[in-house]
Amino acid sequence: MELVKTEQKKFADYLEFLDPEDINEFKTVLQQLQGKKAAMVSATGYGGGVAEKLHSLVPLLNDLGVKVDWWVLSSCPNQFFNITKSFHNCLQGQEGCLLQRDIDIYLHYNELNAFQMQDWNYDFIVIHDPQPAALLHYRGKKPGEKWIWRCHIDTSAPNMDYWNFLYRYISLYDACIFTLEDYVKENHNLQNITFMTPSIDPLSFKNIPLTQERAQEIVASFGIDVNRYLITQISRFDPWKDPLGVVDVYRIVKKELPEVQLALVGSMASDDPEGWDYLYRTLRKAGEDYDIKIVTNFNGITGLEVNAFQTVSDVLLQKSLREGFGLTVTEGLWKSRPVIGGNVGGIRLQIEDGENGYLVNTVEECAEKVLHLLRNPLLAQEMSKKGREKVRKEFLVTKNVLRYLKLFLKLAK
């Protein structure tokens, strides 16, 4: 297991985003948790949404007096991550057979990493997603420890071979966290189920306010004409994010508004080997259309550049076919931009259709809503204001910190 270093953060800097009742609740809970220690365990320390959330959550919990270490799996080859990517896809409904060979490899690397946890001494151990879910089985539980499994994906209609296999291991946990009630199967025997939406950090480089001029300067360096319409989707290159469908949306819109441009901005994560294949498929789909810009963290995309693309875009898309939550939707709403999302999973928690954005089911419907927003800028502006306030109240990292603290307190009692 490898320890991840995070930047220091001060919770006092976030007080401006809190309502008075939240501040009082923090004080009450923290009085009873001082001196407690927790470990967060994930597959990787960068590149994906889970890692991004932990880079804010972990230092803020530490600043509040709850000692938290963040560990990632070690010694796992690409073969392991190919298998766990299949877990991810099949738990979200993709067809496929769980092979005994894949089971053996998955369990082997969980066992290797569990061996490295023998000397751990924590009050709470939080395991994120399927990749490390079998650690508890191999490590065992010491007296006083509480183990929590956090599911970040959409398990509303899983491939049951994969769900039944995973269930053997997550049923051992003291608590399980899901994003939505729909993600929990009926007739389960899971303990202390908690529902917790992910969140964004309003003070990260990805979310701090940028002037329009600075944001335009950044996106122009990637070949964007800032004087023309820009549609952007920010996501992994993944079949569930439907980047190929986004290209189809753009082409329908372009027939009506030839000046429109499309940006597909993504990050390549170390635990997602399939991402490279889907990136190449997206590049082939785009062909030689120079109004389509496809850029990744290997082209200089960091949180700041994502911020800039979100800030200057006329419409932001998250046309997911399955989605655990969709933090790029949250980010777009926070920047007061009109957002159109797939009518799936956690996106429905964020977008109230017709109020602060649109939910869509097809390429054609998505293109229709894009055209409507581009032709009605005042409507887009009004929706955007509502979206930002919804994020402030429900989806900032401060709310996530409080929910974790309350769960720790419940388990400690």
Looking at residue 257, which CATH number applies to its domain?
3.40.50.2000
Which pLDDT belongs to residue 100? 96
Which pLDDT belongs to residue 276? 82
Residue 300 structural domain: 212-394
Which pLDDT belongs to residue 69? 98
Which pLDDT belongs to residue 270? 58
Pair type for strands 67-72 and 2-3: antiparallel
Cα dist from 25 to 193, 389, 399, 402, 408, whole Å: 21, 21, 11, 8, 14
Q: What are the residues whose beta carbons fall under 8 Å from the beta carbon of 353, sequence distance 6 or more?
A: 343, 359
Residue 264 to residue 280: CA distance in whole angstroms? 13
Which pLDDT belongs to residue 47? 66
Which pLDDT belongs to residue 188? 80
Which pLDDT belongs to residue 52? 86
In a domain, 105, yes or no: yes
Give the largest Cα separation in the chain, rounded. Answer: 65
Q: Are residues 7 and 116 in the same domain?
A: yes
| Model confidence pLDDT, tens digit, residues 317-329 | 999 998 888 999 9
In a domain, 162, yes or no: yes
Q: Are residues 403 and 257 in the same domain?
A: no
CA angle 164, 165, 167 (to 5 degrees): 65
Q: Are residues 381 and 293 in the same domain?
A: yes
Q: Are residues 255 and 175 in the same domain?
A: no
Q: Are residues 224 and 189 in the same domain?
A: no
Q: Are residues 406 and 351 in the same domain?
A: no
In a domain, 207, yes or no: no
Residue 159 to residue 151: CA distance in whole angstroms? 16
Q: What is the CA radius of gyration of the chain?
A: 21
List, in sequence order, the alpha helices (H) in 32-185.
Answer: 49-63, 78-91, 100-115, 135-139, 160-170
Q: Which parts of the chain register pLDDT below 70?
A: 47, 269-273
In a domain, 91, yes or no: yes
Which pLDDT belongs to residue 164? 94
In a domain, 289, yes or no: yes
- Tally of domains within the chain: 2
Which pLDDT belongs to residue 375? 97
